[in-house]
Amino acid sequence: MEQQVTPILTINGSDGTGGAGIQADIKTISALGGRALSAITSITAQNTLGIQEFFDLPSETVKGQIEAIVNDIQPTVVKVGMIRRADTVAQIAHLLRQHKPKHVIYDPVIVSSQNEMLMAQEVVDEVRRSLLPLCSLVLMKRADAERLTQTAINTAADLNLAVKSLLAGGCQAVLLQGSHTPPQSLTDVFATAKDGEPTFLPSLFGEGEGNTRHGLSGSLSAAIATFVNGGNAIFEAVVNARNYIAQLQPHHTGIIGRSGELFNEFTHEITQHHRTNSDVKFYADKLNVSARYLAQVTRRITGKAPKAIIDEYLTHEIEQQLAFTQKTVQEIAYAYGFRSQAHLAKFFKNINGLAPSEFRKEIHLNKQ
């Protein structure tokens, strides 16, 4: 007779790329032989460039999902991830106190892998007040720990202070990822409320990767929950889950977006159409993407908006005309799609700081 596996409940946000969130939790739990139940806290519109939009579900909707599961199936291990509303944090904490699962593994998602702030201060405060005291283990990246403890973690003393602050919040154990300790090596730190003594472990991530390797921290917490559900003690589950994630990392390249290719196509289109069109939507339509996504790409690669890139290219072309041809400003204006010489002069001065005639005069003076 097949042995019944007790399901694990994961409470988390949705990630359409499958690299993090509820989708990644289900994948990790299933890969380790567990069975996942889920309740979604937030729906996101995101891609490889980051999160574009959130829809945080009402707390009553989250409550309904959780109650439907725990009243019927009663999981003994719960993994909690991204919660972006204070009332939802309070609601989840109330349900956990009411149904008393044996273990709660919490991976606060405060800062995304793209360094976006995902949790307002009022939510952080509610987490400290109502959720931390219910947790068997709180697993945190350094950036998240700094936000939750309001402590900059740069030294061993800072690290100890952050760990003590988290344990003082009422959780039974803490795993802090990607922290610097003497002699400035990158480590993970595990400590329990029982003895408070830190155990240092080699970091799973290289410098900065704890934040930038999309979904790996969430997968680690899901793996810990699965090993705990299988009977491991907390520290044993941490060790086994870390070993599992370490084996996955060489193959964990994530989804590769087409941002580099798209940027090259965008700049090519500018060379072809800058004389007749400077509208961002025109170029987005040519590339078959939204103007918003095009802006994400250009800002990620150059730090500039698409319109700024178009205008800079157009300005450079006009500069070449002023410097190396005998065309009048009016002729250049009409050749580059401006309504009048005055229209060109206003555009050019706004970017270059000089009127076209002043720029041409300065160029000629420099040549003498």
The predicted structure's pLDDT at residue 252: 47
Instruction: State yes or no: pLDDT of 298 exceeds 80.
Output: yes
* Domains detected in the chain: 7-247 (3.40.1190.20), 259-366 (1.10.10.60)
**Amino acid at site 338:** F
Query: What average pLDDT does this structure show over 337-346?
Result: 92
pLDDT confidence bin for 113, thresholds 50/70/90: low
Query: What average pLDDT does this structure show over 76-82?
Result: 97
The predicted structure's pLDDT at residue 182: 46
Are 87 and 59 in contact by the 8 Å Cβ rule? The answer is: yes
Average pLDDT, the chain: 86
Of 272 and 254, the structure prediction assigns the larger pLDDT to 272
pLDDT confidence bin for 208, thresholds 50/70/90: very low
Separation between Cα atoms, residue 297 and residue 184, nearest integer Å: 35
pLDDT confidence bin for 82, thresholds 50/70/90: very high
Q: Say what percent of the chain tops pLDDT 70.
A: 89
The arrangement of strands across the sheet holding 36-40 comes to 36-40, 8-12, 77-80, 103-106, 137-141, 173-181, 185-192, 199-202
The predicted structure's pLDDT at residue 201: 82
For the stretch 7-66, pLDDT in tens is: 999 999 998 877 788 999 999 999 999 999 999 999 988 876 777 788 999 999 999 999
The predicted structure's pLDDT at residue 141: 86
The predicted structure's pLDDT at residue 4: 66
Query: What average pLDDT does this structure show over 106-111?
Result: 89
Give the Å distances, CA to CA, from 35 to 56, 65, 237, 353. 25, 17, 17, 64
Tokens of 319: 């500069």
Query: What average pLDDT does this structure show over 265-273?
Result: 87
